[in-house]
Homo-oligomer: A and B are copies of this chain.
Amino acid sequence: MSIRIAALRAGRPTFSRPKVSLPQLSRRAYSTPSSRAAPSYKGLGASAATGFAIALGYTIYHGYNESKQVRCDAAPLVDAVDTYGYPWLPVDAIEKDDPKNPMRIRMANWVKSLQDHIVNTMEKIESASEPNSFSPSSESPKFPRDTWLRKEGGEGSSCVLAGGRVFEKAGVNVSVVHGSLPPRAQKAMLPDHPSLPEPIETVPFFATGLSIVIHPRNPHVPTVHLNYRYFEIEDPQNPNEPKAWWFGGGSDLTPSYLDEDDCIHFHQELKKACDKHDSRYWPDFKKACDKYFFITHRGESRGIGGIFFDDLTTSSPINQPPVSTMKHKTKEDLFEFVKDASSAFLPAYVPIVYKHKDRKWTEEERRWQQLRRGRYVEFNLVYDRGTKFGLHTPGARVESILMSLPETARWEYMSPVGAEGSNTPEEGLQKVLKNPKEWV
């Protein structure tokens, strides 16, 4: 692996990325109905710089072109670099990992390095986009970084961009916390985590995770969510051999407008990461994602899917060898899976951003996006376990927990937008949310 990384590093130029001139985002496009139908790169042909832009878009997202028929077969999972030598692979994160360290250190290093890598990539997308009426400054928007300490033990860092050219609100947060877990809290976790020791005394715990929610401005660029975490109950006598531990995580896509190619592409990238480790992961984790991100009172999913898993440990049923003579999975195997699944985030999402970020939109499309964001808020505040757990934890950092909420959202009583029988793109999305699809 290290030779490949060295090669990637050598290929990464030190000069700063030249500005790509793209047509400026129009706030109120009031486009004709036909312009709503499908993404088009035709408008780019108008400027001298657009060959460049298409090359950029195409390289990053090869396989996508103007024909809706061609299936996307986007950037390979691990070792691709884009035109500017910017690697999909989180090189620093991989280099930093030292198998001699205990897992809590390795996972904390991993999520911290991945945070940097993803923030850098998002900032590059901002700098590759022109200023617009929402973000008129000629200075490229950056993610301010807030680091914080937890009184009870631990730390975190929140990188939240607001008012970007492409991203209306984007949060990339890491936390590394530890402390004491009373029996009551252990009991509450027991149903989801049967490997926990019997809750009879307060035990020391450690938890670390990376959490991302990105709400783009353009209604044609989907919202995306990622969370990967590692939890352990420590043994004070033997700090490097926890009494219990597990990984959890996943990533899912929430478009306002359905682009089937996007859905297929996003799922394919995640499936690749899953299949590399266990052919049972993909079908199980995709199903769990559709089940988890369900807004029961609306009878619809929050988004179009992805993967979701929790309590992934060597004793999990899904990790038992199909034949008893086969080798059991090790903790190392599971960490490798978590690294690959979380590394799949950028190749799964970024090409979709490049594909749509300069599309024009109408006020009606923005209205629909705002209504969908209202549903996003409903899910997060009413159902999401992490949010609920966080809000009910005294002393929790509310600003970090609620960074997942969109900057703006909308609720209409009996909204006509996307209504049944309207035969609109909005209704098209609704249908899929009510009947989640497999995609790949």
Contacts and interface: CB of A to CB of B under 8 A. Distances in A.
A185 interface: no
A372 to B, nearest CB: 14
A413 B169 contact: yes
Contact of A298 (B398, B409, B412, B413): B398
A413 B160 contact: yes
Contacts of A181: none
Given A146-B414, A398-B297, A408 B162 contact: no
Contacts of A298: 398
A171 to B, nearest CB: 7
Given A169-B413, A297-B391, A414-B146, A370 B408 contact: yes
Interface in A390-405: 391-392, 396, 398-399, 401-403, 405
A400 to B, nearest CB: 8
Contact of A382 (B146, B297, B381, B403): B381
Contact of A381 (B160, B378, B396): B378
Contacts of A409: 377, 408-411
Contact of A162 (B296, B378, B402, B412): B412
A391 B381 contact: no
A374 interface: yes
Contact of A411 (B405, B411, B412): B405
B407 A407 contact: no
A377 B370 contact: no
Contacts of A162: 412-413
A406 interface: yes
A223 interface: no
Contacts of A169: 411, 413
B405 A407 contact: no
Contact of A414 (B399, B410, B411): B399
Interface in A140-161: 146, 158, 160
Query: Chain A: interface residue count, which band?
Result: 20 to 34
A407 B410 contact: yes
Contacts of A412: 162, 407
A382 to B, nearest CB: 5
A128 to B, nearest CB: 24
A298 B398 CA distance: 7
A171 B413 contact: yes
26 contacts: A160-B413, A160-B414, A162-B412, A162-B413, A169-B413, A171-B413, A296-B392, A297-B391, A297-B401, A298-B398, A370-B408, A377-B377, A377-B409, A378-B381, A378-B402, A381-B381, A381-B382, A382-B382, A399-B413, A399-B414, A406-B411, A407-B411, A408-B409, A408-B410, A409-B410, A409-B411
* Closest A-B pairs by Cβ, 8 of them: A381-B381, A405-B411, A160-B413, A297-B391, A403-B413, A297-B398, A408-B410, A381-B382
